[in-house]
Chains A and B, each alone.
Chain A
């Protein structure tokens, strides 16, 4: 119900946060936009496969700010032992310094929570916040913009290598039913700089909450960004996450989107290739069971010549899970010599699982190479037979094949502990299937 949100927006506006007029204007813009459009419906082409009613009809209250007794032990299962990692933990969308270990950062690197950065009036904020994820783009982004308050803020000055990755853990404690949080993050990588950021969206099993996250990343000329988004929400929660990446000339971005949790999990990834000679990779893995609905919408804008992109998204769907993939590649008339490659594959492990996939190419330049491929099906019988002939039959054989399917994505994750952690999760899920 949009009215509850509007009431919350009013409260937030009254209590204020930062006093900067530009920020107030941004929030107001989000609020006005949300009041005008509300949530999308399945009549919107971008949302037509989604089951939106449970999310948009329910009454979600703004999640309480107090920590409610979340301890390090609650967060531990979602951390990874990456050497030198700097961890920021957010509980219900608010920074929890007691649980965080931001560590030391090299000169020229700022890693803080957004609220603190806003308080300190970091100059990159006004220049970038809300400039890429325009509130006009949809109800959820508008709603998030109306609530801009806290989240991750990373700024890397030009030609600086930020070193070990930064891990932001957004935990919803789920202690209050139907609580909503709207984390907002901004990553600014100046010219020639380099940074790796992990975002985890997590919650305890059984929590019924709603996370509406927006992350904007600006990658300057010749800069590098490695971005991993790991969604391990409660399987009863709703998650709508939008990531906007804006890339400058000669920049490199690798983006991972791993979705394992949420009853309704939607992942929007928009990349704007705003310069020549850019390379980007988008890799995704989603694994649904029960009645999970996992949606990945990627939107790639090739606006300039000589850019190359590679996109691989894979889904594994079991039980009555519903997978959705929409991959749009838009090539403007300017973007000659574009080389865009998109693959999306889905594995259906049960007869009641369902997949809706829509790769979409819109091409206005002639000297381009654009391909997309989509496959949907169950396990390759021939491969199963091969394993069987080698003495690996039944459940184990199937497990190996499903694992191999997922491994294509997981193997590309550059951090061993993350890779191993996720591999263990995938294996555990396959074990839980317990088929004989």
Chain B
């Protein structure tokens, strides 16, 4: 690892003091995982006894599970789970005095993405002037949210202050024994977010800006739980368009969404973790379990833009439990360099008259491999279920791969399922046309790719749609000679 990279990583690894992040300084427990480690994590978080037991239960189940190494269209060396520090307060790096001290490469990327200077400083770990004190911003948000009865806090805080709510829903969508990584997360998660929107309340703002400032550094085992009570509405954005570098190689997050009767949850993700160097060394392994459960008339919509990580293993799913519930999945996944993505969704139709839409756009460049893996399952009771799936792949360069593995399982004659997929090359004539209009090749490709992804971008909250478009351009840089 080059020295400049180390600097950057340590920079971004710096702890955010804004909002709720507990200041534990450089406390580190020894490497490895055992029941004692799980107990220790739970104790450090000041969790109630049932929670400690819950974690231990997950840990014991995890021990009996096998890493799902064989079915994904991915290849990576085995992960040594005893070589990981499961509880480390982020290193307390001294804030830099100004942006001049930040790696110029990083600044260049920020500029390309059009990230405002203030945010650049934040992201790079530069001390921010008092005027833009995100603590106060956060507080303001918190006040206006509290007025509506909305709870939005770190999950560790929620465990202390709203244990009954957390206990009711935690693990109700993704059980502790759901899969290897979910079990691991359940045992050792350090923090994440908890959102509760009361009955009939429409969350007055995108829970995005706030989140971006607050939990940009919530660590490698993140746990998110969002509960929208009857008739509530919330739109939530996770992640960040800015490149994030992190020394934690393994990330195993769990996100659970509970949409009660008539509620709507819109969950958008922009993921741009470090993808590794040109040889694919050092990138993040991103193993995420995301699932939502929709009750009657509820709607859950996942939108994701995945451009980072060496390995992405992620299948945001919706269990359409209630009658007339709706599930949506919009995804753009980009792989370049030696990135590998195996991502898609599962739509499980349980209730009657349920509907789901899947739009997946995969872009492969460099030596990347992109797989769409999806399941549409219609159970016998789910009469009149409807699904529409479209998954398109675009290949840029001749050393990349695009794969689709869609599973369709229908058990009712009234169900209607349509699946369309296509794979094609970026059009030479389109590039030629744009070049003829004065655009260079790189911009032309960026424009064509953005057009290809438009259907997904339009689902993103506005400000992020703009950033995501630019991000795509940056991600594909150097993909054509």
A interface residues (Cβ-Cβ under 8 A, vs B):
45, 49, 333, 336, 346, 348-378
Contact = CB atoms under 8 A, between A and B. Distances in A.
A346 B420 CA distance: 14
Contacts of B396: 366
B81 interface: no
A366 to B, nearest CB: 4
A356 B71 contact: no
A362 B407 contact: no
A348 B383 CA distance: 12
Nearest to B365: A366
B400 interface: yes
A366 B417 contact: no
B380 A352 contact: yes
B346 to A, nearest CB: 14
A373 B419 CA distance: 5
B401 A358 contact: no
A374 B424 CA distance: 18
A348 B411 CA distance: 9
A335 to B, nearest CB: 11
Interface string B399-438: 1111111111111111111111111110000000000000
B425 A366 contact: yes
B410 A348 contact: yes
Contacts of B398: 333, 336, 365-367
Interface of B: 71, 380, 383, 393, 395-425
Contacts of A349: 413
Given A351-B413, A355-B410, 12 more contacts: A350-B413, A351-B414, A352-B411, A356-B407, A359-B406, A360-B406, A366-B395, A370-B424, A372-B420, A373-B420, A376-B417, A378-B414
B196 to A, nearest CB: 38
User: Secondary structure of the A side of the interface?
Assistant: strand
A362 B410 contact: no
24 contacts: A49-B409, A333-B399, A348-B413, A351-B413, A352-B380, A357-B408, A358-B405, A358-B407, A359-B404, A359-B406, A359-B419, A360-B405, A361-B393, A361-B403, A361-B404, A362-B401, A366-B400, A370-B423, A372-B404, A374-B418, A376-B417, A377-B413, A377-B417, A378-B414
B413 A378 contact: yes
A361 B423 contact: yes
Contacts of B401: 362-364
Nearest to A333: B398
Given A375-B418, A376-B416, A363 B407 contact: no
A346 B383 CA distance: 17
Contacts of B406: 358-360, 374
B413 A356 contact: no
Contacts of A369: 422-424
A366 B412 CA distance: 38
A315 to B, nearest CB: 11
Contacts of B421: 359, 361, 371-373
A375 B424 contact: no
A400 to B, nearest CB: 18
B422 A370 contact: yes
Contacts of B393: 361, 363
A308 B357 CA distance: 31
Given A352-B380, A355-B410, A363 B416 contact: no
A357 B376 CA distance: 10
Contacts of B415: 348, 376-377
Contacts of A350: 413
A358 B408 contact: yes
Nearest to A357: B408
Nearest to B376: A376
A358 B400 CA distance: 23
B374 to A, nearest CB: 10
B420 A371 contact: yes
A377 B413 CA distance: 6
Contacts of A351: 380, 383, 412-414
A353 B396 CA distance: 42
Contacts of B423: 361, 363, 368-371
A55 to B, nearest CB: 21
Contact of A355 (B383, B404, B408, B418): B408
Nearest to B395: A366
A357 to B, nearest CB: 4
Contact of A361 (B402, B411, B416): B402
A366 B397 contact: yes
Contacts of B411: 352-354
Contacts of B416: 375-378
Contacts of B409: 49, 354-357
A349 B410 CA distance: 12
A364 B407 CA distance: 21
Contacts of A356: 407-410
A349 B415 CA distance: 11
Contacts of A336: 398
Contacts of A367: 395, 398, 425
A215 B55 CA distance: 55
Contacts of B410: 346, 348, 354-357, 376
Given A357-B408, A358-B408, A375 B400 contact: no
Contacts of B419: 359, 372-375
B265 to A, nearest CB: 28
Nearest to B405: A360
A374 B388 CA distance: 10
A371 B408 contact: no
Nearest first, the 3 closest Cβ-Cβ pairs linking A and B are A348-B413, A366-B395, A377-B416
A359 B389 CA distance: 12
A354 to B, nearest CB: 5
A354 B417 CA distance: 13
Nearest to A377: B416
Contacts of B399: 333
A350 B415 CA distance: 11
B424 A362 contact: no
Given A358-B408, A363-B423, A366-B397, A375 B417 contact: yes
Contacts of B414: 351, 378
Contacts of A361: 393, 402-404, 421, 423
A366 B411 CA distance: 36
